[in-house]
Amino acid sequence: MKYIFLTFSLLLSSLASANQLDDLLQQVKQQQAKNQQTNSQRESDFKGDLAHWRNELAQAQARFDQVKGKADQLNAQFDQQEQQLAQLEQDLSLATDNLGEVFGVVRQMTGEFASDFSRSIISTQFPERQTFVAELSQRKALPSLTELEQLWFVLQQDMTESAKVVKFEAAVADPSGITQQQTVVRLGSFNLVSQGAYLVRDEQTGVLQHLTKPVGGDVANTLADWQVNSPSVQGFYFDPAKGDLLTMLARTPTISERITQGGVIGYCILAVLVLGLMIALVRLVRLSRVSLQIHRQMKTTKANSNNPLGRIMAVYQAYQHRSTEVLELKLDEAVLREVPALERGNSILKILAAMAPMMGLLGTVTGMIGTFQSITVFGTSDPKLMAGGISMALITTVMGLVAALPLLLIHSVLHGRANRLIILLEQQSIGLIAEQAELQAQAADASSAVKAMAKAPQLQAS
**Phi, psi for 195 (deg, rounded to 5):** 55, 45
Long-range own/partner contacts, residues 389-393 (CB < 8 A, 24 or more apart)? 391/261, 391/367, 392/261, 392/262, 392/263, 392/265, 392/266, 392/363, 392/366, 392/367, 393/363, 393/364, 393/365, 393/366, 393/367, 393/368
Question: Which of 108-112, 228-232, 295-299 is least confident?
Answer: 228-232
According to the per-residue pLDDT averaged within each range, which of 18-27, 61-70, 123-132, 303-312 is highest?
A: 61-70
Residues 6+ apart with CB under 8 A from 304: 293, 297, 310
User: Parallel, antiparallel, or unpaired for β 208-210 and 165-173?
Assistant: parallel
What is the percentage of the chain residues whose pLDDT exceeds 70? 73
The enclosing H or E element of 173 equals strand 165-173
According to the per-residue pLDDT averaged within each range, which of 123-127, 222-226, 397-401 is highest?
A: 397-401
According to the per-residue pLDDT averaged within each range, which of 17-31, 207-221, 349-363, 434-448 is highest?
A: 349-363
Report the SS3 class of residue 181.
strand
Contact, 435 vs 316, CB < 8 A? no
CA separation, residue 107 to residues 69, 104, 113 (Å): 47, 5, 10
Provide the pLDDT for residue 258.
Answer: 73
Distance CA 171, CA 202 (A): 12
Q: What is the pLDDT of residues 165-208, one digit of tens each?
A: 788 787 777 766 677 777 887 777 777 777 777 777 776 676 77
Provide the pLDDT for residue 188.
Answer: 77
Question: Which of 180-184, 189-193, 221-225, 361-365 is least confident?
Answer: 221-225
pLDDT value at 16 more than 70: no
According to the per-residue pLDDT averaged within each range, which of 109-123, 217-231, 282-296 is highest?
A: 282-296
DSSP summary character for residue 142:
P
pLDDT band at 278 (very low <50, low <70, confident <90, very high): very high
Q: What is the pLDDT of residues 373-424, one digit of tens each?
A: 766 766 666 566 566 566 667 788 888 888 899 999 998 888 888 888 888 8
